Chain A
Amino acid sequence: MPFSEDDLRAALRRKEPSADFAAKVMARLGEQPEGERRATPDRRALAVLRWPIQVRWAMAGALAATLLLAAGLQQYQRRQEQVRAERARQQTILALQIATQKIDHVFQRASRTPVQMPVNTKEQL
């Protein structure tokens, strides 16, 4: 049997819950312990203030130590990079010095050796 979309809309129209529905929800909400009802970020943040003083100091100390460690690590990495860069610079200078010496050596040998002129075949004849 064909049916239209309006028939579906009519069949699935909204229905009202019982008259005391909202009251039942609020009653069930009242039955739940406060802790289970909600965990908003504000209340979670405030929960820190309820920690014992020793725990708060320990947390602060741990946080400070972590920050110092992170800063130290960053400083160490930066120093290592500087050392690597300096080493690379020294190696480049050394390589250039060696190359210069080699070229000088080649020039010196070349200037000592007499130049042999090619034989003129016409004069021989």
Chain B
Amino acid sequence: MEGDRDIQMVLTLRQAAQGSHEAFGDLVRQHQTMVFSIAYHFLRNRAQAEDVAQEVFLELYKRLNQIESPPHLTFWLRRVTVNRCIDQTRRRKPELALEDVAEPKADSAHGDPLLSRHLQKSVANLPERRRAIIILRYQEEMDLAEIAEVLEMPLNTVKSTLQRSLLELRKKLTRKLGEVRYAIF
């Protein structure tokens, strides 16, 4: 079953590289959630994340002939998305996103919504490289060697940066939730 899907992916990739718009549309649909989610957690702005994700796929269309295999495609999409997000962060001035004003719906099926929201905000406020490491590690479940490859960083730097980032998140969260409790009681 898994093998069939891999073969199908290879075929779709080949057809898209040969100019089939239908096959390219399939590639977009298969990877849109991954690309959009990286951009969304990085930028914490739905509209900007969609815009970046669209640009990533337009770039992919130009470079389809350089993509060697489905795993290479995933690797390429992750790398380009992170790089585009970093560029976007450097270009834009911070603006108030709808997501920062209110959480439209709290999804109780995935843990504590208050904690999740604070975690998302804290991650989005980390420096770019640290943010990218956290997102790739916990959203994409990538191992540290893969992250090092995508971000073109030494493995030991990725390890130490991840540890430092987690520590910083814990400190920030302790402070933030402490303030919330103080305001309530």
Given A1-B174, A29-B21, A38-B64, A6-B36 contact (CB < 8 Å): no
Minimum CB distance partner of A26 in chain B: B25
Is B37 in the interface zone, CB < 8 Å from A?
A: yes
**A10 interface hit (Cβ, 8 Å):** yes
Are B134 and A8 neighbours in the complex by a CB distance under 8 Å?
yes
**Chain B binding site: helix, strand, loop or mixed by DSSP?**
helix
Are B25 and A7 in touch, CB under 8 angstroms? no
Q: Which of B4-12, B82-90, B114-122, B150-158 contacts A (4 or more CB under 8 A)?
A: B114-122
A69 to B41, alpha carbons, bound, how many Å? 59
Q: What's the nearest-Cβ distance from chain A to residue B134, in Å? A: 7
Query: Which residues in window 19-77 of A have CB below 8 A to B?
Result: 21-22, 24-26, 28-29, 32, 36-42
Q: Are B28 and A7 in contact (CB under 8 A)?
A: no
Main secondary structure of the interface of A (DSSP, over half): helix
Report the number of A-B residue pairs with Cβ-Cβ less than 8 Å.
111
- A17 engages B115 (CB within 8 Å): no
Residues of A within 8 A of B34 (CB): 14
Contact partners of A14 in chain B: CB under 8 A: 33-34, 37, 139
Contact with A along B97-116 (1 / 0, CB 8 A): 00000000000001110011
- The interface residues of chain B lying within 8 Å CB-to-CB of A39 are 62
Q: Are A17 and B58 neighbours in the complex by a CB distance under 8 Å?
A: no
Interchain CA distance A111-B161 in the complex, whole Å: 92
Chain A residue contacts of B24, Cβ below 8 A? 26, 29
Is A18 on the interface with B (CB-CB < 8 A)? Answer: yes
Interface residues of A (CB under 8 A from B): 1-3, 5-18, 21-22, 24-26, 28-29, 32, 36-42
B interface residues with partner A (beta carbon < 8 Å): 17, 19, 21, 24-25, 28-29, 32-34, 36-37, 40-41, 49-50, 53-54, 57-58, 61-62, 64-65, 110-112, 115-117, 119-120, 123, 134-135, 138-139, 141, 169-170, 173-174, 177-178
- List 9 extra interface pairs beyond A7-B112, A17-B50, CB under 8 A: A1-B174, A7-B119, A11-B117, A13-B110, A15-B41, A17-B32, A25-B25, A37-B61, A41-B65
